Amino acid sequence: APVLAESYGLGREATPDEVAAWDIDVRPDGLGLPEGSGTVSDGEEIYMERCAVCHGDFGEAVGRWPVLAGGQDTLTSARPVKTIGSYWPYLSTVWDYVHRAMPFGDAQSLSNDETYALTAYLMYLNDLVDEDFELTKENFTEIRLPNEENFYPDDRLESAVWKNRTPCMTNCKPEVKITARAAVIDVTPDDPTAAHPTGE
Amino acid sequence: MTDKTPTSRRNFLKGSIAAGGALAATPALAAGDPAITEVQPWANQLGEGVDVAPYGMPSKYEAHVRRRDVPWLTADPVSSVNFTPLHELDGVITPNGLCFERHHGGTADIDPAKYRLMINGLVEKELVFTLQDLKRFPRQNRAYFLECAANSGMEWRGAQLNGCQFTHGMIHNVIYTGVSLRTILEQAGVKTNGKWVMPEGADASAMTRSIPIEKALDDCLVAFAMNGEALRPEQGYPVRLVVPGWEGNMWVKWLRRIEVGDMPWHHREETSKYTDLMANGKARRFTWEMDAKSVITNPSPQAPITHGKGHTIITGVAWSGRGTIKEVHVTTDGGRNWHQARIDGPSWDKSMHRFYYEFDWDGSPLLLQSRAVDSTGYVQPTKNELRAVRGENSIYHNNGIQTWHINEKGEAENVEIS
């Protein structure tokens, strides 16, 4: 049954235009996708103009900005490279996030067609489609990203061997050695204004 | 820090003496502590009037108590994080101006007159509320910790940052005033197939997360005040979501919309981010709860022991996203022997707890650790126990036991031990 409760008579009904203006989210099953389409070549043009300055010409990223492409087969390595192609489970997330929050500093400035085109180009950068590919509302949900199956729900409660254990309180181990030291790494920012509150 | 202002009475008196000793029986000649035997300026001159600071700030001697950032952590300071100075705080409440910040599109500057909250999706009636509307619902006051999922994340591979502000400071604990999310959802009427809700922020990052309806109808708050005053802009002014015990990313700030749906949205912040990569290349998702955790805040690398041997107070904070903290244990010898710490202050559900352990320090080196036990019986694990399950690349949810090495001088360092 619906959640029923006391009404306080507060608020008002949202108009369809208001809901349409704010409800722009997209789900993996395609719910929320607007009409539209875009090709890899259209996407390349937009990407070079609006994205490459941070994300690099090939999605490899500039500086510490996010890497968008590559990294396949690195998820078990010491330094995984988690990109759309190597890590993300759903293409809908690409469309939704680019449309709602990118470019950084000029969010919600991309049209629906531009977002389809950019999404197509990001697929191309990740070797998922050919250069003549066109992404549309109609073919969108046929597409699967490579890493979709490798996510699973939180299983901490099953795997936590330290649940309900009785913690040791005395003579717990014979000896203790220091194995790593932050002062050796020396990456903590200095604070020139630091002063001890008690002075002296 | 000492006050060297030339107008201080002490300097004035010294100057007078040097100039000829004209003053008889000056306090400077008295035996004892000059802080006592000399008249101090604050005991002689008038202080500031009541209207000098309509909104007061801490003492100038506390100017070092502040949020800090680590520039190399992020690409830029807008989608970034800073850290609460845990080593300078006591009790369980974080002052509003010191609560760590985490933004993805900077701090939104929202005119409260233009603030709107929309409820849409699988509801009987899609609704819009103003801020004034929200303040007319029955209110609740609750203290909760908000911990970033990435708190201590830089420490997965080993000891990196030297100070609990940096290793554990992506957390704050304040009293929120707001309306039960359940009450808000009930106004719209959740349909029977409404199984998930998606809060969305009004800022340029348009933060979205998927939350199961059970949690949404349980203890979430739509909050407009923290510690008795309006939310700070950097904490979501005028309205944020409070998701008790769950990772900070879900506490959507500048909350503009809550959609009800029949399945999760799998948006960027629950796929690319806030999923926990395991050593086998698979990843946990929807790791919402923040497990039991603790840290000794004093002594710590930014707060060494300066008083030498003798009676010494070890203090810190503990918290659990699954309940209250039942016990905290403290070791001074790297976990060979543990002692019951004393929890003092309120023990609220999913809120910070303050603990103390007092002992007589003989001046020899120490390996300090704290270990929290929560009301479900969960015992805070060591970092190595976590790594054995997860490897070193899961970024989030590092609640492993922290070690501080204290040397003979009382200086502290972030270390790992066997």
Per-residue pLDDT of chain B (418 residues; tens, 9 = 90+): 444 444 444 444 444 444 444 444 455 568 999 999 999 999 999 999 999 999 999 999 999 999 999 888 888 888 889 999 999 999 999 999 999 999 999 999 999 999 999 999 999 999 999 999 999 999 999 999 999 999 999 999 999 999 999 999 999 999 999 999 999 999 999 999 999 999 999 999 999 999 999 999 999 999 999 999 999 999 999 999 999 999 999 999 999 999 999 999 999 999 999 999 999 999 999 999 999 999 999 999 999 999 999 999 999 999 999 999 999 999 999 999 999 999 999 999 999 999 999 999 999 999 999 999 999 999 999 999 999 999 999 999 999 999 999 999 999 999 999 9
pLDDT recorded at residue A158 = 87
Kindly report, as residue ranges, where domains of CATH 3.90.420.10 are found in chain B.
76-284
Q: What is the dihedral of CA B19, B22, B25, B27, to 10 degrees?
A: -40
Give the whole-angstrom CA distance, residue A96 versus residue A98.
Answer: 6
Prediction ipTM score: 0.93
Strand ordering across the sheet containing B293-298:
B293-298, B310-319, B353-361, B342-343
Give the whole-angstrom CA distance, residue B293 versus residue B299.
Answer: 18
Neighbours of B287 (CB within 10 A): 22
pLDDT recorded at residue A191 = 67
> In CATH, which superfamily holds the domain spanning B76-284?
Oxidoreductase, molybdopterin-binding domain (3.90.420.10)
Strand partners, B52: none
Residues with Cβ within 8 Å of A65's Cβ and at least 6 positions away in sequence, in order, are A54, A55, A56, B75
Mutate to test the interface with A, among B79, B186, B271 (most CBs of A within 10 A): B271
Q: Which of A63-67, A68-72, B275-279, B354-358 has the lowest mean pLDDT?
A: A63-67
Chain CA centroid to CA B312, Å: 25
pLDDT recorded at residue B28 = 54
**Among A22, A25, A84, beta carbon nearest to B118:** A22
**In this model, does residue A196 exceed pLDDT 60?**
no
Distance from CA of B288 to the nearest CA of A (A): 8
DSSP state for residue B350 in the 8-state scheme:
T
Give the whole-angstrom CA distance, residue A95 versus residue B267.
Answer: 10
pLDDT (average), residues A37-44: 98
Q: What is the pLDDT of residues A141-164, one digit of tens each?
A: 999 999 999 999 999 988 877 877
Tell me the chain A residues in contact with residue B194 when contact means C-beta distances shorter than 8 Å.
Answer: 3
pLDDT recorded at residue B53 = 95
Give the whole-angstrom CA distance, residue B369 versus residue B278.
Answer: 26
Q: Number of CB pairs < 8 Å for A and B?
A: 276
Tell me the chain B residues in contact with residue A172 when contact means C-beta distances shorter than 8 Å.
Answer: 335-338
Distance from CA of B156 to the nearest CA of A (A): 12
Tell me the chain A residues in contact with residue B133 when contact means C-beta distances shorter than 8 Å.
Answer: 10-11
Neighbours of B119 (CB within 10 A): 24
Kindly report, as residue ranges, where domains of CATH 2.60.40.650 are found in chain B.
293-415
Asked if the Cβ–Cβ distance from B417 to A176 is below 8 Å, we say yes
Q: Which of A18-27, A185-194, B78-87 has the lowest mean pLDDT?
A: A185-194
Tell me the chain A residues in contact with residue B156 when contact means C-beta distances shorter than 8 Å.
Answer: none
Distance from CA of A44 to the nearest CA of B (A): 22
* Residue A5: pLDDT band with limits 50, 70, 90: low
Q: Average pLDDT over chain A, rounded to whole?
A: 92
Indicate the length of chain A as a whole number.
200
**In this model, does residue A180 exceed pLDDT 60?**
yes
pLDDT (average), residues A32-51: 98
From its phi and psi, is residue B164 left (phi > 0), alpha (psi between -120 and 50) or beta? alpha
**Number of alpha carbons in the 13 Å side-chain half-sphere of residue B213:** 19
Give the whole-angstrom CA distance, residue B262 versus residue B212.
Answer: 10
> What architecture does CATH give domain B293-415?
Sandwich (2.60)
pLDDT recorded at residue B17 = 45
Nearest alpha-carbon partner for B368 in B318, B332, B415: B332
* Residue A200: pLDDT band with limits 50, 70, 90: very low
- Residues of A (102-141) whose Cβ lies below 8 Å from B: 104-105, 107-108
Q: What is the pLDDT of residues A104-140, one digit of tens each?
A: 999 999 999 999 999 999 999 999 999 999 999 999 9
pLDDT recorded at residue A2 = 52
Tell me the chain B residues in contact with residue A167 when contact means C-beta distances shorter than 8 Å.
Answer: 329, 338, 371, 373, 379
Q: Do residues B349 and B320 make contact, with C-beta atoms less than 8 angstroms apart?
A: no
* Residue A3: pLDDT band with limits 50, 70, 90: low
